[in-house]
Amino acid sequence: MKELNQPISGDDLARFSGPTTFMRLPLAHALDGLDVAIVGVPMDIGTSWRSGARFAPKEIRNQSAAIRPYNLTTGDAPFEVHNIADIGDLAINTYSLPDTLRIVEESFDAILTGSDVVPVALGGDQSITLPILRAMARKHGPMAVVHVDARSDSSDETFGERNTSGTVFRRAQDEGLVDSEKVYQIGLRGTGETPSELKTPQSWGFQHFLASELWNRSMAGLGTEIRRDIGGRPVYLSFDISALDPGFAPGTGAPEIGGLTSMQALELVRALKGVNLVGCDMVEVAPAYDPTGTTSLVAAHLVYEMLCMLPQRSETVE
Amino acid sequence: MKELNQPISGDDLARFSGPTTFMRLPLAHALDGLDVAIVGVPMDIGTSWRSGARFAPKEIRNQSAAIRPYNLTTGDAPFEVHNIADIGDLAINTYSLPDTLRIVEESFDAILTGSDVVPVALGGDQSITLPILRAMARKHGPMAVVHVDARSDSSDETFGERNTSGTVFRRAQDEGLVDSEKVYQIGLRGTGETPSELKTPQSWGFQHFLASELWNRSMAGLGTEIRRDIGGRPVYLSFDISALDPGFAPGTGAPEIGGLTSMQALELVRALKGVNLVGCDMVEVAPAYDPTGTTSLVAAHLVYEMLCMLPQRSETVE
Amino acid sequence: MKELNQPISGDDLARFSGPTTFMRLPLAHALDGLDVAIVGVPMDIGTSWRSGARFAPKEIRNQSAAIRPYNLTTGDAPFEVHNIADIGDLAINTYSLPDTLRIVEESFDAILTGSDVVPVALGGDQSITLPILRAMARKHGPMAVVHVDARSDSSDETFGERNTSGTVFRRAQDEGLVDSEKVYQIGLRGTGETPSELKTPQSWGFQHFLASELWNRSMAGLGTEIRRDIGGRPVYLSFDISALDPGFAPGTGAPEIGGLTSMQALELVRALKGVNLVGCDMVEVAPAYDPTGTTSLVAAHLVYEMLCMLPQRSETVE
Amino acid sequence: MKELNQPISGDDLARFSGPTTFMRLPLAHALDGLDVAIVGVPMDIGTSWRSGARFAPKEIRNQSAAIRPYNLTTGDAPFEVHNIADIGDLAINTYSLPDTLRIVEESFDAILTGSDVVPVALGGDQSITLPILRAMARKHGPMAVVHVDARSDSSDETFGERNTSGTVFRRAQDEGLVDSEKVYQIGLRGTGETPSELKTPQSWGFQHFLASELWNRSMAGLGTEIRRDIGGRPVYLSFDISALDPGFAPGTGAPEIGGLTSMQALELVRALKGVNLVGCDMVEVAPAYDPTGTTSLVAAHLVYEMLCMLPQRSETVE
Amino acid sequence: MKELNQPISGDDLARFSGPTTFMRLPLAHALDGLDVAIVGVPMDIGTSWRSGARFAPKEIRNQSAAIRPYNLTTGDAPFEVHNIADIGDLAINTYSLPDTLRIVEESFDAILTGSDVVPVALGGDQSITLPILRAMARKHGPMAVVHVDARSDSSDETFGERNTSGTVFRRAQDEGLVDSEKVYQIGLRGTGETPSELKTPQSWGFQHFLASELWNRSMAGLGTEIRRDIGGRPVYLSFDISALDPGFAPGTGAPEIGGLTSMQALELVRALKGVNLVGCDMVEVAPAYDPTGTTSLVAAHLVYEMLCMLPQRSETVE
Amino acid sequence: MKELNQPISGDDLARFSGPTTFMRLPLAHALDGLDVAIVGVPMDIGTSWRSGARFAPKEIRNQSAAIRPYNLTTGDAPFEVHNIADIGDLAINTYSLPDTLRIVEESFDAILTGSDVVPVALGGDQSITLPILRAMARKHGPMAVVHVDARSDSSDETFGERNTSGTVFRRAQDEGLVDSEKVYQIGLRGTGETPSELKTPQSWGFQHFLASELWNRSMAGLGTEIRRDIGGRPVYLSFDISALDPGFAPGTGAPEIGGLTSMQALELVRALKGVNLVGCDMVEVAPAYDPTGTTSLVAAHLVYEMLCMLPQRSETVE
């Protein structure tokens, strides 16, 4: 049985010390032997309102130092069943969105080729999801996608640009990266330039769950339903932190009121446990608008819960 | 058919650009042809705890630049049915509460005389509501009032002053500006100098809905009930942002814990759609205590929802 | 009938003025005639993540100036039935946790000996609760304890230290300070170094109420149930503000997502009214992480609600 | 020899504890035996830009807890030669500038009549200086005034109001409260509605020292010169914290760049030691714009330096 | 004589009201009759460290509302001699640096062709200066440039990009836009990837004035010297706010310690009065890192001082 | 010639990416081949006012990512002449000051025994300096010390504790760790509990340079003088960031107005180049009070300057 990477314990080193890898895991320079690779993608120029997500990977990791390995609520112990490492940040081109998207796509191709690692991306803005989906689809074919977000991100273009944080899912649909009947967009709300912002993706088959339909309710049931609907398909989970209400996550690029609560986000991710998760991301945290660190903390904890929801690999158990 | 004012689109001009009118609407210098006029009243010296609401009209407008014209949740499209403009701020006397209240009253008289515009006031503290009600009542007679607030604002006087943010509804009742059986005070909670702070307005016939009765519940039902109870009467909606819990709206003059959620506020305003709204205000946002901008954003979005709840005018439809 | 201390009224002195005692009550230098004594314990070196609770007594008192004497929701009027004073802060040794714990224990012994005052402690971090429980148990024997917190604080030691914020309830159990079948830990969640962090205290008989079991629910029922289960036993209430979700209380030493809401906290404390409360504390507020003051305000209001839940003393009524 | 009030020592009680009187001095309820009385005047509605100075007395006192009794630079020991107490805040009318100015004037009349106490006022905005000067002049006749400020505050009226923070010195001149040849306005800069903002007070004889003339220079020489020019006349010192550059004191109602440094402020106050100071004030600190507390700290320390510059009273020495 | 645009007076409308144009000047939709046009360029994706300058035009304008028309220190009255308007923001493409630079260049070509207006640009990051210089040089030929900055911005490329905030002056030199013997880079300091960061521009003839040579000194002399050295040449002034020390201007994309003071910046700009200024910019303000607004205020005031230094046009005087 | 560690270049990896070691240097797990070891000591319970320095090593390293290898002002290139690594943080006991001081002393003994590495400590509060001095003195004998600070830290005890941030230099003197004629305390100011706070260390021979003597002056001369006075003696440099004025460094445990400027700090450190520096520290940065990051940036840059002032080792040059 191989030895699994473990976070540094708070009993060995005070939590405000140590490397700022995710949960103070080892920093890996190669993928050998890894089940899961956490990777930062600090790109923020695909956003239309408040920039600053370039600092999100760093702050999510900073806040993650307070998370311990055992999930007291669910009983999960992800570091006992998976070999997880932080592989640092991609060397993006901070001045060019197209060039960065190319770098992300090539980097994910490299990660996915010749390894079965599950990549967990720390954005960055939502624009990074498209090149990730491209690389993922080359390996897995059209995937089911759970997209938690305030917005459907299905515009055609803005200022003539076709690859921004607002166009990800139209491109993904057009390019056949997703199984359009199995795309779940959860937390949608707010306002649009045209009434078609929801209708268009619905016409593709995307399933929409408006935040307003979920208020004052547990999301465990919805999560379970989606898990069953997905079955054994490969699934990608993309979590835009603006899905949460700004009361719970103010530090984001385009906050929208009336969102999900942190509790609902936990319920959803936990209920999805058991799906065939092949990759996931956490995007749109903007630390400059998060003076208490709460948003980065929520994001870090949700990434931890994603680690808990990963399917158990046969080779990692005895 | 007249052409209706439209907000500047985010596809034409980046959202961090453009005029800081509400939602980047045209700034109107006259009321001709308008159905709705948004007006700032940056008065903050009627407050007893944290001052600073004088900057609220500016910050609510700043945050409103992120709102798009179509309401994706409700399907409303207010700019397709109403002609709406921002008419700027009243030229108040920032050193004198009585003089400012006089200016507000005269300005609203001027607005309401010879036009059927619905005024939407951006406070400022709650003290601005009294002169507005006076002007409104001269036109509409005693009105139904939906007052969303942590407090009943029905004191008789403080420090010998009879017109402050805390005395508005006693004066309104005394002066016959409101239909006292049709005054709904929603979100009440907290503490009082005397136990009479709720009992007195109840003795006038005001209907009280304590926040604690509404916790963990949808407010759609209550909104519907109130809408039916009001029937076709002219209604004024006054929204003190302190009605919300400080978890959702910390930036206010006198925060009070245990309040409404943003979701409940949306439910309430949406459920009231269809009443004969003749005017409304959003008061008590204090930007200096709102480092992430969340409170101004909530306020801006609720004002947008008020635009969505406005009754359709016959002359603006085809 | 003795005359009871009253907070300074906002009608007599503007709320931003006056002494920064709790609710602007008199500062008492002796316990004679008091039913309740509010005491600050500004110790923050027992915390493992974000320090700064040393400023909590000052900020909780600052925010408490906005609270009025009558509880409009419950009808309680604590200052009409109890004689309450602020007795200032203990003269702790800010450089030494063991020495401060000794000072706290001796000070509480002194408070409890020869008076029947109910002490209400404003922490400081959770480590202050152990010496308080020691002094309380000397007077009352093993007590029922309602412990509202994100964590069970039942570790054996950290860095070789046996008395920190994380070990309080193991020490209390070991020393027989608590009635272990009547210890209620409410709001638990998050992650642990080992899976035993909940199982160990459960093995002692502690009753656990995970936050996730309480989401989207009123806590009034749970509070009532606990109140009945406790019966007439002497009860100590320890409230670690991290029990609340960081959306409602970001300013704490170790925030944990998915916590209680402010509304639930109010429901719980109010439902406990009638128990034989012999002491209580409010701990782990960290003002440096609370830019809007919301956390201190929540803490101040919950302390006020504790005053409302105090059992009526026969000698104070007529 | 009478016993003099002493601040609580940091060796006796941790500095984050204790009363929030100035430097943790005793709170006096009467003036008997006092040489100096520190009094808060938390009025902020006379300001034209950012409000919030109502919280200044509280925050200046909070920051003053870090100041120790001996002046290590100058050797002064004010608590060995003067009997100093904090007498709390005046009970102002927070809704009315005219009524508050009346209260201030009457309160200072009461303070000055029948005692020889030197009042040290913690504002509040600059508007409080006029009623203080009126009361002072009734006792001392026309005084020399050292006015450290970014602006001359010599407008005639604004919005029809004749008593605001911007009109203090015109009123003082018109009413004969000051010895116009001995009024020193120091730190002036910035912009004006008309070019006369400096020329008018110069025409009365006021002596102007523009900030730009003082840049990169010690102010010790200027202070000495002014001290000599004043001679034995009674002097009032009014210090508007906006005199300092916002790099040193950002938390003020109307910051103006290019101001004095903290070092220059210290030099000036120290150089004035020996004048016949009969009263002084520190105004225009706005804590809501001071996230690090620096501005309140600067203000607190400058007030301490004013205590150091007080002339020694014959009756307090042996 | 034509009538000149005037800022709205604070005596007519409270300063927290009114349009958020620069100094509340009229918003002009055409250049006819203008001498000076203030234009926002909210582009921030050319920066390598902290993003957020996209909000700078808005915040600089917000802070500019506190500036009055007359310069009390210098006696200048720019609105009596120039016709100045704010012409709003350019409609940039926020997702693409190359496309935005193209838009800026074309927009400035349009501004400069057929008008003699002096453009004053509010950035945005420093990358906007290159397209402005291109347009300016087409009209004026190679210009003298006063570049106040912490860095020389003369890299060749970064991440393969040749047009970023760090390459502006190499491109300008290569393209012959500047008179290389008359380029003054002032405030340089800090660290570089290679030692050539200063030597290379020096080899082109650029004149360097390191911040460390200017510490503790007036910059009036240097400004005068530069003014004489420039003579009658057309001059462009580019002011990167990071030239200032972060003690005076923390809210910038890449703060560097040991910079100029606000006082020195004022001295420099004032000493340059009389040069043939044909355009200028203020760049790199990052409001998200400026919680007190000080940096935007400094920037706004320096822009005002640039208006004061403009040469008097013969046609605007009588 | 051995290959020297280099910081990651900003041309290879965006500065907001990469490890949070100092300047993104390699993290070393052994001292072999190192000339300089940067080590974090995140202890903050030895401070008497604002805690939080435990997060300083992390934030200083975060800010250091913006520093490039070449010193453009001085021409120094420390990474071309020294082999420098970050060795992470010491595993302190965050609950116990005495135990942590023991850990620091033993760790520094281990570092210094069998290597000639120069340790550069990132505090933490000033209390860490005493155990470092003990270890240093065992190797080097009594050292010259340059102590830049607002306070002399020469108290005998506080609350009965003899080893806190306030007693370091009395202990060092008593234990013979320092060459008392060659101890330079620079930046002293403020207030004391007794007048002896400066006189006592002066009586030991310590040389005092009050901040007030240095205002408005270059510190290059003083630095040069001290360098000469020290000659070839081994020197320890301890830099408490509170030496700086809070205008330049607000984020510290006990800010004191009237301090040094950042420029003076740079002048001093640069002028000391050439002394036989055997170790140094940067202490008392408190990130929770530093919303713009300026204080951590100043600290990071000063540590970089200390690297520049290190004497060249014969073995590292060719």
| Six token digits for residue B10 | 């985010």
- Contacts C9 to B, Cβ<8 Å: 193
Q: How many CB atoms lie within 10 A of CB B177?
A: 25
What is the rounded distance in angstroms from the CA atom of residue A129 to the CA atom of residue A147?
Answer: 10
Q: Which amino acid is at B133?
A: L
What is the separation, in whole angstroms, between the first and last Cα of chain D?
7
Contacts of F16 (CB under 8 A, 6+ apart): A42, A54, A55, A57, A58, E49, F65
Of B84 and D317, more confident: B84
What is the rounded distance in angstroms from the CA atom of residue F116 to the CA atom of residue B261?
Answer: 62
Q: Which residue of D has its CA nearest to E12?
A: D159
Q: Which residue of B has its CA nearest to E292?
A: B288
Residue D158 is predicted with a pLDDT of: 86
Q: Do D192 and E70 touch (CB under 8 A)?
A: yes
Residue F203 is predicted with a pLDDT of: 97
The contact set of C with A (CB < 8 A) is: 48-49, 158-159, 188-195, 197-198, 210-212, 215-216, 245-247, 250-251, 254-255, 257-258, 289-291
Give how far B296 is from chain C: nearest CA, Å.
14
Q: How many CB atoms lie within 10 A of CB D115?
A: 16
Element (H, E) at C144: strand C143-148
Of D248 and F312, more confident: D248
What is the rounded distance in angstroms from the CA atom of residue B185 to the CA atom of residue B149?
Answer: 7
What is the rounded distance in angstroms from the CA atom of residue D147 to the CA atom of residue D162?
Answer: 20
Total residue count of chain F as it appears in this document: 318
**Does pLDDT of A210 surpass 50?**
yes
Three-state secondary structure of E237-255: EEEEHHHECCCCCCCECCC
What is the rounded distance in angstroms from the CA atom of residue C90 to the CA atom of residue E9?
Answer: 55
**Does pLDDT of A6 surpass 50?**
yes
Residue showing tokens 């996550």: A249
Q: Do F159 and D11 touch (CB under 8 A)?
A: yes
Residue B317 is predicted with a pLDDT of: 38
Residue A318 is predicted with a pLDDT of: 36
Give how far F27 is from chain A: nearest CA, Å.
9
Q: Do D266 and F257 touch (CB under 8 A)?
A: yes
Q: How many CB atoms lie within 10 A of CB E30?
A: 10
- Pick from E172, E130, E152: which is nearest to E242 by CA? E152
- Contacts C57 to D, Cβ<8 Å: 16-17
What is the rounded distance in angstroms from the CA atom of residue D123 to the CA atom of residue D100?
Answer: 12
pLDDT above 90 as % of chain F: 94
pLDDT (tens place) for every residue of chain D, 318 residues total: 569 999 999 999 999 999 989 999 999 999 999 999 999 999 999 999 999 999 999 999 999 999 999 999 999 999 999 999 999 999 999 999 999 999 999 999 999 998 999 999 999 999 999 999 999 999 999 999 999 999 999 999 988 899 999 999 999 999 999 999 999 999 999 999 988 899 999 999 999 999 999 999 999 999 999 999 999 999 999 999 999 999 999 999 999 999 999 999 999 999 999 999 999 999 999 999 999 999 999 999 999 999 999 977 644 433
Q: Which amino acid is at B140?
A: H
What is the arithmetic mean of pLDDT over F237-255? 98
What is the rounded distance in angstroms from the CA atom of residue B55 to the CA atom of residue B262?
Answer: 22
Give the pLDDT means over successive 10-residue stretches in chain C (318 positions): 88 94 96 97 94 97 97 96 97 96 98 95 97 98 98 92 94 98 98 93 98 96 98 98 98 98 98 97 98 98 97 52
- Contacts A161 to E, Cβ<8 Å: 93, 95-96
The burial of B26, by beta-carbon neighbours within 10 Å (0-12 exposed, 13-18 middle, 19 or more buried), is given as: middle
Give how far D281 is from chain C: nearest CA, Å.
17
| Model confidence pLDDT, tens digit, residues A285-305 | 999 999 999 999 999 999 999
Give how far F178 is from chain D: nearest CA, Å.
24
| Model confidence pLDDT, tens digit, residues A155-202 | 999 888 999 999 999 999 999 999 999 999 999 999 999 888 999 999
- Contacts A27 to F, Cβ<8 Å: 19
Q: Do F91 and A19 touch (CB under 8 A)?
A: no
Residue showing tokens 């013997």: E181
Exposure string over C89-121, b if 16+ CB within 10 A, otherwise e: bbbbbbbbbeebbebbbebbeebbeebebbbbb
Q: Across all residues in chain F, what is the average pLDDT? A: 95
Q: Do C15 and B189 touch (CB under 8 A)?
A: no
Q: Which residue of F has its CA nearest to D215?
A: F216
φ, ψ at C46 (rounded to 5°): -95, 15
Q: Which amino acid is at F21?
A: T
Give how far E102 is from chain A: nearest CA, Å.
13
| Six token digits for residue D38 | 């520190």
Q: Give the residues of chain E that fall short of pLDDT 70.
A: 1-2, 313-318
Residue E209 is predicted with a pLDDT of: 98
Give how far D293 is from chain F: nearest CA, Å.
8
**Does pLDDT of B318 surpass 80?**
no
Give how far F215 is from chain D: nearest CA, Å.
7
Q: Do F12 and A55 touch (CB under 8 A)?
A: no
Q: How many residue pairs from chains D and E have C-beta atoms closer than 8 A? A: 98
User: Residue E65: how many CA atoms within 13 Å on its side-chain side?
Assistant: 24
**What is the DSSP annotation of D175-195?**
TT-EEEEEEEEEEE-SEESST
- Helix C56-64 × helix C294-309 angle, to 10°: 70
- Contacts F73 to E, Cβ<8 Å: 189-190, 210-212, 258
Contact (Cβ atoms closer than 8 angstroms) between residue E284 and residue E241: yes
The contact set of E with D (CB < 8 A) is: 9-11, 14-16, 66-73, 75, 77, 216-218, 245, 247-248, 261-263, 266-267, 291-294, 297-298, 301, 304
Closest CB from E97, E164, E288 relative to A52: E288
What is the rounded distance in angstroms from the CA atom of residue D164 to the CA atom of residue D169?
Answer: 10
Question: What is the strand order of the sheet E178-188 is part of?
Answer: E84-89, E36-41, E118-123, E276-283, E234-240, E143-148, E178-188, E207-210
Instruction: For the domain covering B22-316, report its CATH number.
Output: 3.40.800.10
Give how far A34 is from chain B: nearest CA, Å.
39
pTM: 0.97
What is the rounded distance in angstroms from the CA atom of residue B31 to the CA atom of residue B110?
Answer: 10
Contact (Cβ atoms closer than 8 angstroms) between residue D111 and residue D64: no
Q: How many residue pairs from chains B and D have C-beta atoms closer than 8 A? A: 60
| Model confidence pLDDT, tens digit, residues F159-208 | 889 999 999 999 999 999 999 999 999 999 999 998 889 999 999 999 99
| CA dihedral angle for residue B45, residue B46, residue B48, residue B52, rounded to 10 degrees | -40
Contact (Cβ atoms closer than 8 angstroms) between residue F164 and residue F197: no
**Does pLDDT of F317 surpass 50?**
no
Closest CB from F45, F55, F289 relative to C45: F45
| Six token digits for residue D120 | 């040290």
Contacts of F270 (CB under 8 A, 6+ apart): F73, F74, F220, F223, F305, F308, F309
- Contacts E190 to F, Cβ<8 Å: 67-68, 72-73
Give how far C245 is from chain B: nearest CA, Å.
9
Residue B2 is predicted with a pLDDT of: 67
**Does pLDDT of A1 surpass 60?**
no
Q: How many residue pairs from chains A and E have C-beta atoms closer than 8 A? A: 59
Give how far A24 is from chain C: nearest CA, Å.
13
User: Residue C94: how many CA atoms within 13 Å on its side-chain side?
Assistant: 28
Chains touching chain A, criterion 3+ CB pairs below 8 Å: B, C, E, F
Return the residue in E48, E49, E51 with the most chain A beta carbons within 10 A, the one to mutate for interface testing. E51
Chains touching chain F, criterion 3+ CB pairs below 8 Å: A, C, D, E
Contacts of B196 (CB under 8 A, 6+ apart): none
Q: Do A195 and B72 touch (CB under 8 A)?
A: yes
Q: Which residue of E has its CA nearest to A91?
A: E159
Q: Do F95 and C158 touch (CB under 8 A)?
A: yes
Closest CB from C20, C40, C92 relative to D20: C20
- Contacts C77 to B, Cβ<8 Å: 195
ipTM for this prediction: 0.96
Residue A317 is predicted with a pLDDT of: 38
Q: Do B54 and E16 touch (CB under 8 A)?
A: yes
What is the arithmetic mean of pLDDT over F130-148? 98
| Model confidence pLDDT, tens digit, residues A16-74 | 999 989 999 999 999 999 999 999 999 999 999 999 999 999 999 999 999 999 999 99
Closest CB from E13, E19, E54 relative to B19: E19
Residue A2 is predicted with a pLDDT of: 67
Residue A35 is predicted with a pLDDT of: 97
